[in-house]
Copies of this chain bind each other. A is one copy, B any other.
């Protein structure tokens, strides 16, 4: 009889967002009169239409497939050259990244999960707390952890606590990590790391032979020009870091699906025999064997994000969402709540009113204000007592959320 991967049984009942969806559905069914009033600021999903330049390019891509003479079947597993080059030219100019170090995929969730395929067992892995749950859950599935304790923390992972005292940016630990996940601008806290903080991490990685898995899915939201957008802006990062990027939150591709991983050829891990092996070679093999390229019209659409019109339209989208973030942030601050994020990130991270846990606040917001937020504790024990509000919404909805929040808290 076939054995299953019993590591799956260590996972908590639900991935955070399905659990939120379940509670919202139950509330809606029990309160049909209120269901239409619900405003969703929970899942970090964009709400505005695709930029016109993207729409045009995607239509053109479809039309190419509609004619035999311009038809494209299987594309290169690693992505079309036109997109890989556009990414390098527009996102990594002068950072020493080559087009063949960019691997196109159908999403950062897939990439940040699948990346563990190329690593061995026994790595000492650091994650921040709170953290994007995919990093944790995929480590559990891969057998890199023991069971979870009562706080939901898994044995075998090294949790780097982020809190108000460190501004939700963890410093490198004193002891040695083999792998560390860093995400800036951060999901869920909206924190960003300064150049000095990232330099400290790269220095740590060089000294400890650590690989940094750098998730920059939200880089487009950085407003402050002194904040690095890529880990590769830091000297030496090419030897120790790989970076995850996405079109989900700049071009609004959450339903379109396109992302990429940058793996410099100089980043290496150790084989069982002690040999240094380039991660680029392993990921290339994994990508060729377990992935078959992103959809052609989608890759065309992604490249249009970097056109002159595309850049202007994306900038307008970002401005819209960051206007929302500002409103949410200022409203929460005016209510005397503790607030982080919302300045260089589309997430506002708010301390719950005294005495409320994160899920208490989730239920209160849902039941009394019909607003869906994300409970901070869903991102880890250190998120307890906090909640995340997403700025991905219409301005009208955000204004409404602000007034409901005022009515609820004040």
Looking at the complex, which one of B4, B45, B113, B291 makes contact with A271 (CB distance below 8 Å)? B4
Name the residue in A49, A107, A297 with the highest tally of chain B Cβ atoms < 10 Å from its Cβ.
A297
Cβ A18 vs Cβ B277 within 8 A: no
User: Which of A5-13, A160-168, A331-339, A367-375 contacts its partner?
Assistant: A5-13
Cβ A5 vs Cβ B282 within 8 A: yes
Q: How many copies does the complex hold?
A: 2
Cβ B118 vs Cβ A8 within 8 A: yes
Q: Which residues of B contact A384 (CB under 8 A)?
A: none
Q: Which residues of B contact A158 (CB under 8 A)?
A: none
Cβ A47 vs Cβ B73 within 8 A: yes
Q: Which of A259-288 contact B (CB under 8 A)?
A: 269-273, 277, 279, 282, 285-286, 288
Query: Is A227 interfacial (CB 8 A cutoff)?
Result: no
Cβ B255 vs Cβ A8 within 8 A: no
Cβ B2 vs Cβ A109 within 8 A: no
Complex: how many Å from CA A286 to CA B118? 18
Produce 1/0 per residue, A290-320, CB < 8 A to B.
Answer: 1111111110000000000000000000000
Query: Is A409 interfacial (CB 8 A cutoff)?
Result: no
Produce 1/0 per residue, A122-154, CB < 8 A to B.
Answer: 110000000001100110010000000000000
Q: Which of A43-85 contact B (CB under 8 A)?
A: 43, 45-50, 52, 55, 58-59, 62-63, 65-68, 71-75
Cβ A134 vs Cβ B4 within 8 A: no
Cβ A210 vs Cβ B292 within 8 A: no
Query: Is A195 interfacial (CB 8 A cutoff)?
Result: no
Known: A210-B2, A294-B257. A277 touches B62 (CB 8 A): no
Complex: how many Å from CA A289 to CA B112? 10
Complex: how many Å from CA A71 to CA B43? 16
Q: Which residues of B contact A122 (CB under 8 A)?
A: 3
Produce 1/0 per residue, A356-395, CB < 8 A to B.
Answer: 0000000000000000000000000000000000000010
Query: Is A1 interfacial (CB 8 A cutoff)?
Result: yes
Query: Is A181 interfacial (CB 8 A cutoff)?
Result: no
Looking at the complex, which one of B110, B113, B254, B269 makes contact with A73 (CB distance below 8 Å)? B254
Complex: how many Å from CA A293 to CA B279? 27
Query: Is A398 interfacial (CB 8 A cutoff)?
Result: no
Cβ A141 vs Cβ B68 within 8 A: no
Query: Is A239 interfacial (CB 8 A cutoff)?
Result: no
Q: Which residues of B contact A2 (CB under 8 A)?
A: 119-120, 123, 178-179, 209-211, 269-270
Query: Is A114 interfacial (CB 8 A cutoff)?
Result: yes
Looking at the complex, which one of B1, B178, B295 makes contact with A255 (CB distance below 8 Å)? B295
Least Cβ distance of A115 to chain B in Å? Answer: 10
Looking at the complex, which one of B58, B71, B288 makes contact with A297 (CB distance below 8 Å)? B58
Cβ B256 vs Cβ A295 within 8 A: yes
Query: A residues touching B (Cβ–Cβ < 8 Å)?
Result: 1-6, 8-9, 11, 15, 18, 43, 45-50, 52, 55, 58-59, 62-63, 65-68, 71-75, 106-107, 109-110, 113-114, 117-123, 133-134, 137-138, 141, 178-179, 209-211, 252, 254-257, 269-273, 277, 279, 282, 285-286, 288-298, 394
What are 9 A-B residue pairs whose CB atoms fall within 8 Å in the complex? A5-B282, A11-B285, A15-B288, A43-B74, A52-B66, A55-B65, A59-B59, A75-B255, A107-B292
Q: Which 7 A-B pairs have the closest CB atoms?
A: A3-B120, A113-B290, A4-B269, A45-B73, A1-B209, A73-B254, A2-B178
